[in-house]
Amino acid sequence: FRLSRRPDIGEKINVSFEFFPPKTDAMAARLWETTQRLEPLAPYFVSVTYGAGGSTRERTARTIERIIKETSLTPAAHLTCVDAKCDEVDGVIRQFLDLGVKRFVALRGDPAEGVGSHYQPHPGGYASTADLVAALARHGAEDISVSAYPEKHPESPDYATDIDVLKRKVDSGAKRAITQFFFDNDVYERYVERVRRAGIYAPVVPGILPVHNFAQVANFAGRCGAHVPAWLAERFEGLEDDPQTHMLVAAAVAAEQVLDLVERGVTDFHFYTMNRADLAIAICHMIGIRAQALVEEEKPAAA
Ligand code: FAD
């Protein structure tokens, strides 16, 4: 991969990091170490996912509360509308707003049976993600992100339908779209062209998944409609029992992808961190993002 970079490039790039709410004390400790290591990179925001059907509601809220209380990071709360009545969803929105959350990632979510099972809006719930976005805006959310699918959502019959759903979300108040992960930058570029042709001008921020575990990623990709190119499988082939080399290859693969996107003019990146810091830090370093000194807030002069 390319080794020389323009020294000024890091200043023009915004990154955000995604976490999932930890289930155990050991996972919480790891997430906490990760947030502390990522904090000096001054991300634009860090987002915390929301389990299907609200299954992680309290854990998502507790994780966000800790981020607010103990770090300088700006949190964004993911929120889904699947399997919930409007007033339940509104209650969660108010809970997050009361914690001081101003940013949200609004999603439909998947039914409990998983991706691909036929989605039915809850009879008393928000019928679509666009309706959830509108509800968040009505409640005073300041910054709403939504999902986008460069390889189209697996339930989508075609790109036109998929992009129409995105348009409705943006027209309802979403400020940016964050993509499902992908490994072929040409696919992303073609998708952004389609989105622009449809009259959507919101940023389409690439979601980057550093490959911590190739077997898991391949399995997950199969379920969410993301294509794993043969060249990627070849790079990780034979590394199942060699975690150190796997990690080095993963850093090289992700750095190559991100550097190529920078060359194509992309300035914002969202990292699916899997609650791990190493690869995210290495890739950020490659694009010129370095630790920022934390500045102590100015205190008013004593009278
Ligand atoms: P939408 O964007 O509302 O719709 C997805 C697709 O379904 C559309 O593009 C369209 O193709 C089709 N579709 C929708 N409505 C219609 C319609 N009326 N007619 C025809 N086709 C339609 N899941 C979680 O449970 N928790 C999370 O925290 C979470 N975070 C995520 C973050 C990102 C950045 C991404 C990309 C996904 C995330 N997901 C999360 C996964 C997401 O919930 C699933 O992919 C789900 O299947 C779709 O939700 P959505 O908001 O993307 O759906």
The predicted pLDDT at position 299 comes to 53
Residues 245-282 have pLDDT tens digits of 999 999 999 999 999 999 999 999 999 999 999 999 99
Q: What's the rounded Cα separation, in Å, for the pair 47 and 49?
A: 7
**Does residue 18 carry a catalytic annotation?**
yes
- Taking each continuous run of H as one helix and of E as one strand, the counts in the chain are 10, 9
E strand intervals along 36-195: 45-48, 75-80, 103-107, 143-148, 176-179
18, 89, 108, 163, best to mutate for ligand 1 pocket (most atoms within 8 Å of CB): 108
Residue 115 has pLDDT above 80, yes or no: no
The predicted pLDDT at position 137 comes to 98
What does DSSP assign to residue 119? P
- 97's CB contacts (< 8 A; 6+ apart) are 139, 140, 141
pTM to 2 decimal places:
0.93
CB-defined site of ligand 1, < 6 Å? 49-50, 52, 78, 80, 105, 107-110, 115, 128-129, 147, 149, 153, 155-156, 161-162, 165, 178, 180, 207
ipTM confidence: 0.96
Give 108 Cα–ligand 1 centroid separation in angstroms. Answer: 5
Residues 146-204 have pLDDT tens digits of 999 999 999 999 999 999 999 999 999 999 999 999 999 999 999 999 999 999 999 99
Residues 12-38 have pLDDT tens digits of 899 999 999 999 999 999 999 999 999
Q: What's the rounded Cα separation, in Å, for the pair 257 and 182?
A: 10
Q: Which atom of ligand 1 is nearest to the CA of 49?
A: 28
Phi-psi region of 234 (alpha: psi -120 to 50; beta: other; left: phi over 0): alpha
Q: What's the rounded Cα separation, in Å, for the pair 104 and 85?
A: 19
